Amino acid sequence: MDVILSSSFKKHGAEKLTRVWLWAMRVVLVVVFMGWLMMWIMLPTKTYTNKWNAMITKATDSTFLGRQGTRTLVFAFPILFIAVGGCLYLHLLQISGERNSGGFSRRLNAWRRPVLVRGPLGVLSAMEIAFSLQFLALVIWALSVYISVGFSKINSKTAAKDGVKLWQAKLLDSALRLGLVGNICCAFLFFPVTRSSSLLPLIGLTSESSIKYHIWLGHLVMTLFSAHGLCFIVAWASTGQISQMLKWDAIGVSNVAGELALLSGMAMWVMTVPRIRRRMFELFFYSHQLYVLFLFFYLLHVGIAFFCYILPGVYLFLVDRFLRFLQSRQRVKLVSARLLPSESVELNFAKAHR
């Protein structure tokens, strides 16, 4: 009897310790995520530019990494930390059982329930609506603050000093700000398609349900980047500086690389038209491999330091692609195949033994 009681107490103690660890990890991951999100909110403001950036750079100055070291620490490391910590959290949650998650799991499941079923955006849960509205608010906030801060520095005197008219100066500044907001959207673009990442399960999403967010973000990114490029072209043409389109500086911004990145992105964007995607899926699929060129020329366009803003999403996506490549090399046995009346093909595979 004493042995049974002792074993029961030990089991209860282990479960209690696991619950404590899960609670502590949730708190840490949420705090890190909120801090990372706060940096994106503050990024367009004068406070970040004039105060925070100098303080953070001074505190994290590195001889070897330079500016990209600071941006990697502030904008890339938190997400990578959450991804690694999320793996450990989900593993502990799985081995501990659902009962150890308690009320948190019930509240999370409540947020996962569909709220909108019939609508132009498809089936959406409360959590999906909340995240979508928050991201939309972030984009509107960033665009409004960027333009407000930029226009506050432009007047007739500064425009005349640069040899342009007032509206041309504002157009050039707007083009730059549109690119900066597009970069924020691009930083989130790859998260929904990282199927093997722990980020999606942490917030109650699956890789299948999150594809629509990648689509929405892709449209938003290409809209902003297209407007970014178009505004610059119009401004250069109106000021007699159309030769800027052929500029490829070894240091700073490369305009030609940006144009090539935009063309690669637009090629992918055109192929996402539903009529093309449904009738010529192979064309849609293979054109999406242009993301390699898009990222390469984007890197050459903005430089490695600025590329660090979108680094975590790109890094997790590349890791996911590598893992899927390894999984695709496993051989499977085809059991049967038949053509259905609907002209669909049904394939049955033998379950792989592990």
**Percent of the chain, pLDDT > 90?**
33
* CA-closest candidate to residue 104, choices 114, 89, 115: 89
What digits encode the pLDDT tens for the residues 86-121?
A: 888 888 887 776 544 455 556 666 666 766 666 666
Cα pseudo-dihedral 121, 123, 127, 132, rounded to 10? -10
Q: How far apart are CA 227 and CA 233, in angstroms?
A: 10
Q: Is 265 helix (H, G, I), strand (E, B) or coil?
A: helix
* Residue pointed to by tokens 């001074």: 58
Residue 31's pLDDT band, with cuts at 50, 70 and 90, is very high
Residue boundaries of the structural domains of the chain: 2-252+303-348
Residue 298's pLDDT band, with cuts at 50, 70 and 90, is very high
E strand or H helix that includes residue 275: helix 274-279
* CA-closest candidate to residue 203, choices 121, 118, 89: 89
What digits encode the pLDDT tens for the residues 198-230?
A: 888 887 777 777 888 898 899 999 999 999 999
State the average pLDDT over residues 71-86: 89
State the average pLDDT over residues 285-308: 90
Lowest mean pLDDT among 52-66, 153-167, 306-320: 52-66
Determine what percent of the chain falls in helix, strand and coil, rounding each to the nearest 5.
75, 5, 20
Write down the pTM of the prediction. 0.84
Terminal Cα distance for the chain, rounded: 40
* CA-closest candidate to residue 24, choices 76, 92, 95, 79: 92
Write the single-letter amino acid at 341.
P
In contact, 22 and 98? CB cutoff 8 Å: no
Q: How far apart are CA 289 and CA 78, in angstroms?
A: 28
Please tell me which residue, 76 or 4, carries the higher pLDDT value.
76
What digits encode the pLDDT tens for the residues 170-193?
A: 999 999 999 999 999 999 999 988
